[in-house]
Amino acid sequence: MQLHNKLSKEEALKKLYSESFKRITLSFYRYVILEDSQTFRDDLFVEFDRLDCLGRIYIAREGINAQMSVPEHNIEAFVAALNARIELKDMPIKWAVEDDGKSFFKLNIKLRAKIVADGLDDGSFDVTNVGKHLTPMEFHNSLDEPDTVVIDMRNHYESEVGHFENAICPDVDTFREEIQMVVDDFSDKKDNKVLLYCTGGVRCEKASAYLKHHGFKDVNQLHGGIIEYARQIKQTELKSKFIGKNFVFDERLGESIDGQVISKCHQCGAVCDTHTNCANNDCHLLFIQCEACKSQYNACCTDECKEIITLPNEERIALRSKFQDKYSKSQIYRQRIRPKLNHS
């Protein structure tokens, strides 16, 4: 029985682009105790593979976090498969705002210690004592209330291309960094109404419980995240209070919410919100690059990486160790990319 995708990236892409049917991008998560996460994972792979689903799914003892691409003709069977499992029954699903059907090219289901890396000791606080879930319309209306503190619980590269009006967007690389920073930096706001939001809602579950544990009295979170807000705001035809693009963790790397572009190319400062990964695979830094700079730098983040990709493979291997430091990507961004942007 096949329990892993065995196609190469090239083979998977060729298969995807040869399909004659439409795909739909969706996401969901649920915190639910899984006593046998390995068996749960393997059974899901067999079921989703049978339905020709693609995507990236993280499973841990604490639950599931999934971003997927499902054939339109299999949506009904897919939802039925979720409902057939008590752990996934009546799962709230977020549907993509902009969708070309090419968000994923493989099915990857991975076991993790947590479905979102937060660095928290779950035994030290009540993870079920979460904040109040606000519907998109309730969240929309609460944004204008006086003394309300709106906090973006995403990373800097996400909030840089899009965020809610007047939101505080911490300058962090990881959710692990941010969750403690928010508790420390806003300790004087424990009596204020706090509004948290993230892409689909999963990060706010832990964040809201952690804030309540630390004495924040009125903690609220956007139910369904930016994805659900965008879907509902378009249906109501109200003016969106989220400006720019919603960063997503798939091949699209983003979906525009209101048509505005609020960020700049990290290399020349031109108006741009297109993320790319450095073509030097030993770097692979995620950054914003316009078409002109993509051409100039050969899709690399720096002249150094541009030079490296032209070297013989043996020389590239010899240089590889300099990119192995777990902090190297952050250092490249903060020391070489961001100064250029700020100067422009």
Backbone angles phi, psi at 66, to 5 degrees: -130, 140
> 3-class DSSP state for residue 125?
coil
Considering 53, 198, 265, 290, which one is annotated as catalytic? 198
pLDDT of 343 strictly over 60 = no
pLDDT of 327 strictly over 50 = no
Task: Give per-residue pLDDT as tens, 1-53.
Answer: 678 878 888 898 899 999 999 999 999 999 999 999 999 999 999 999 999 99
Q: Which of the residue ranges 99-103, 163-167, 324-328 has the most confident prediction, judged by mean pLDDT? A: 163-167
Task: Give per-residue pLDDT as tens, 260-301.
Answer: 999 999 999 999 999 999 998 888 888 999 999 999 999 998
Angle (nearest 5°) at CA 115 between 114 and 121: 35
198 in active site: yes
DSSP string, 325-344: STTHHHHHIIIIIHHHHHH-
Matching residue, tokens 């949506």: 75
Average of per-residue pLDDT across 91-111? 92
Q: Supply the Cα-derived Rg of the chain in whole angstroms.
A: 21
Contact present, 34 and 40 (Cβ < 8 Å): yes
Which domains does the chain carry?
A: 19-111 (3.30.70.100), 122-231 (3.40.250.10), 275-343 (no CATH)
Cα separation, 96 vs 338, in Å, equals 30
pTM (2 decimals)?
0.86
